[in-house]
Structure 1
Amino acid sequence: MSPDLRGVAVLDGPNGPALLTRTATELHFSGRLGYGRALHARSNAGQLVPEWSLVLTEETTLDEAADLVLRRAEANRYDDVLLLGAAGPHLVTVSQLFEQLSASFRHAAWHDQLTGLVNRRWLADRGPSILARTDPGRTAILYIDLDNFKTVNDTYGHEAGDAVLAEFGARLPACLRGGDTPVRLGGDEFAAVLLGATGPGAEAAAARVLEAASRPFEHGGHSLRLSATVGVAIASEVSLDDELSPLDALLRYADGAMLAGKRTGKHRVQTVAPGQEDPFARKAKVQRELLRALDEDAFDLRYEPVLSIDDGGQAAVLSSLHWEIPGLGSITSEELMPVAERSLQLGMIGRWELERVCRKAAQLAREGRAHPVVLRASSTWLAEGTPAAEVSVALTAHRLPGAALRLIFTGPLPPPRIHHIANQLRELESHGVQTALDDFGGCQPRLLDLRLLPLSMLYVSPALTDDIDTDEDAAALAGSLALTARALGMGAAATEIARPGQLDLLLELGFREASGPWVSTLLGPDGAADQGAPIATRVPDPT
């Protein structure tokens, strides 16, 4: 027997294909008393194959192969294995098999399973050394977030969402150059490490990412359209932080630039200007201060009047959350709520607001000015919680009728939860509480879903009412939304009305209520003005 021969593949053995190893052959030939060679003089290879011979196919996964090896008796566990493939039989050592398994584990640890791109762990492990040996003036990071991706999951399901992420992960490398590295950070967030790229080059790559994200994603017969917002940070333009590594500082600036792009309209490339203050620092400070704000009663509710357009009187009082932080100024609800949701304090803030709004409603009733007080609440509370029960308890505690309160739910309503949402709204209605949806015409649900919801009012997105007095198309669109609201048995309301020309058109367009700076000028700025003479509104010409 050749000294280089480790084993022989027996393809037609009595029990099918098997491997006769050199070790097993020598064991047979030596025998217990030295008579093995004589005993097996007439035996064929198939008869010498040991019972622990292990045969794998190309369909056997590495995990399955390792499990089969480990199930063998310890004395034979490390014997060679036969692999049957299209190229013929191959002998595989157990050490080779576990080396491949180890490499597979390393790949899985450093790569995203869905997209195949390297992951955040790879970036944290390899990124610092990469940045340390590159020119900061020619090193950039793109921070990429898919706009409105949650709507895909809520509307078409997580399978469609995964398909979109996998397809975008396949498109992303084509937007970059050979030496650049695309990364999936998690969820719908991606990044790209650009080496040898100047500012214009990084912005050009970001523009290609925008184009790739805007192409339709086909899934299940649906053509899904999304967009992306990309933050760009150049290493030489980022101020280092003693508490952060250069990589973390660069990522934070790019993330902050992306968030700034989101705030200014999404679907854009946002850069960090040289010497610009850390765009993430404000958010981080808000999050830190939030931890003690409730304990210190640092929040404030401000109120503004709501105009009844039909009769010119005051219809309600609209509350808004404000918070002053030294050094940062006023923190509005729009800035606070995303931070509160991430830090799991949204529910605590919502309960605080409900208590204060009920207290305000009771005060107005005692003063003979019993206007309903309007509270903006997160749609997450409506979709996942039990607002009807909590509101009932608050109303009882303050001895208020349900009509003293109106809830406007902000944010998208997930279609899979629409029946729970409808049940909660019906229960609120049974208590006499008016309910409304914010941002109608913006992110709010399909008309088919709205038909199921017993709402009192739809608040049209301010983006659609801002130009009604200067743009005929905008006025026609706003009017069609008001008509839709009436067809559903609901009223239409407009907010952020700042000019008399806007207010003049709202009655013609079929709106029921309005609020904003101009309304506050007419009715009084404190949101609790006495009912005086009705405000004159423009009556449409009957002709």
Structure 2
Amino acid sequence: MLTVLNCLVTAHDYRFVAAALAICALGCVVSMRLFARARNVRRAKHAAFVVMAGLAGGMTIWTTHFLAMLGFIPNVEHGFEPNFTVLSLAFAIATSMAGFMIAASRERDWMIEAGGGVIGAGIALMHFAGMRGFVVAGTISYDPSFVAFSVAAGAALGMLATNRVARGTTRTSHYAGMAALILGIGIMHFTAMGAVQITPDPRVAVPSQLMSDSVLAILVVLVTVLVVMLGAVTHLAEEQGQQDAVAHFRHLAMHDPLTGLPNRAAVRDELPMRLKQAAGTSLAILAVDLNRFKEINDVYGHAAGDAVLVQTTARMRAALIEGEFFARIGGDEFIAVKPFTRENEVEEFAARISDAFSRPNELGKGRFSISASIGISVCPKDGDSVDELTTRADLAMYRSKKAQDGSWCWYDADADEDGRRRGQIAIGLRSAIADNALRLVFQPQISMKKRQLLGFEALLRWSSPQLGEVSPADFIPVAEQTGIIVEIGDWVLMQACREATLWPTPMGVAVNVSPVQLMRPNFAERLTEILTETGLEPTRLEIEITETMLIDNPGQALLVLRKIKAVGVRVAMDDFGTGYSSLSTLFSFPFDKIKVDRSFLNALGRQAQATSVIETVIELGHKLSIPVLAEGVETDFQAAFLKDRRCDEAQGFLYGRPVDSSTAHALAQSGTWQDENAGKLSA
């Protein structure tokens, strides 16, 4: 009797064994990668990857078995019966495909291991079907214990393989899954071969129609080639898929989803590159802002506004020629770049932009018309940096916007000293935070009745290395027009909240918020983040908004204010009485405080209307149970007038000028304010 177990060392050609293990390793890597991909995709791609994983796995199992069989030298006449040989390949592919399909399903958590068990059982089914086709001049029997062990080992390692690939989160776990499948195929085959017992019998004739070793070798080579090709195709497909995915996500990151134009991120990449390429030549930067676009959104809705943008920007893209760049950087804001040798080329480009946006837009039965205001700056005449050129193009565009007729303006520093100053301010503001040029000062707010310090208003100051001390009245409007106010306003809120948490007494801190900052959709969420990060109690923070802020878009503004109130932050109306909708605004939203504008205090005693306005506001506050604070109190006469009218709170030079953070800390500790004349307020 010849037992294969005794012949594993002496009756095998290890060249074939090594080839079998190499093909096994390659095929297992391919099949498990396909299985991993199948779990991460859906529908048609999912089915395709399951099928390919099943093909790769089945052919790998079959090839490993028969390559090893070719290396087996039983020293008896033998051959391979074609039907069972081919049938074993079908079994291997079918069970592998079924196992991967089960393991890749997300319907039940346990199906991952169940699918691996099916693959392991399929290895055994393929092996014994293949051995049924192995014919020798004698009889073949099996040791049941080795058979049982080989089947159990194959199933267990198959389950481990799918478990590691499906449940593992690291590359190491995926490698472990591949190794488990390699071991499963190898251990199952050689253990099952160890169960084989061959009894030579000269009376048993080997049929002549069997496949010889050479024919089987050719078949094995063909299947091996298929496995290698499938592996190569899989690798190429994955590489191409990754490249396509990277290209797709880069396109999404660098383009506006509505119009398909390059977005602000693309502009940040494109403009420095264009400036570098334009060294020694001229380059025009064009800032474009639409006129009457907000009216379309307000009257007909944002869908109509979006449709207008799609139509107009499609015309704009069609009008571009080689070397020109056009991008959308905001709702109705665009930027364009044009290399040129003659100025009339830039004007012709501006004319094309103006024409693309000014042509009527047909939307259903409606007909909408807008126009574009265009500002132009030129490198190197107007600057040689991105910040300088874009800022000066913006300033030229603002002058163009006054006409709102689709015209364009060249940046001209000599003709517009104010624009030049604003340009310097805008350029300096872009680096003010990074340069630590911004600081906060704190002006006391006091209770007129109790003569107590209630808190402080945080006021922003800017000391520019180039411009010196710049007034907020000069730099805040520029910051709002250029959008820098969002970053600066965020910094102010963060610093004010941090300072307030250091005060020994939990007093309130008031912060002015720009309309540009307030109208951002995520303002309330960002405010919550700042409070969480600094640890300031929401009730200690008071947001001051101007009355005119609510006029342009009252619905959106009130929605944002309600979100702020929901957080617990207080809201005060600043400069009350200078707007146009005071009473309706107060009825629409429950403000926590009303601040009387300093202009009325300045006119007190000189204009009868000022006296009436102040008295009316204070009385209105009492009726609505809303505290009233008077700003700009500088004289004893003003203070006495306010106290007689029972004004609740006040701030101004009479009670203290704005102080730095250390002085504010000391005042908060003492509970008094910096005021040489405080005693004059005694009852």
TM-score (norm 1): 0.47
More helix by share: 2
TM-score (norm 2): 0.38
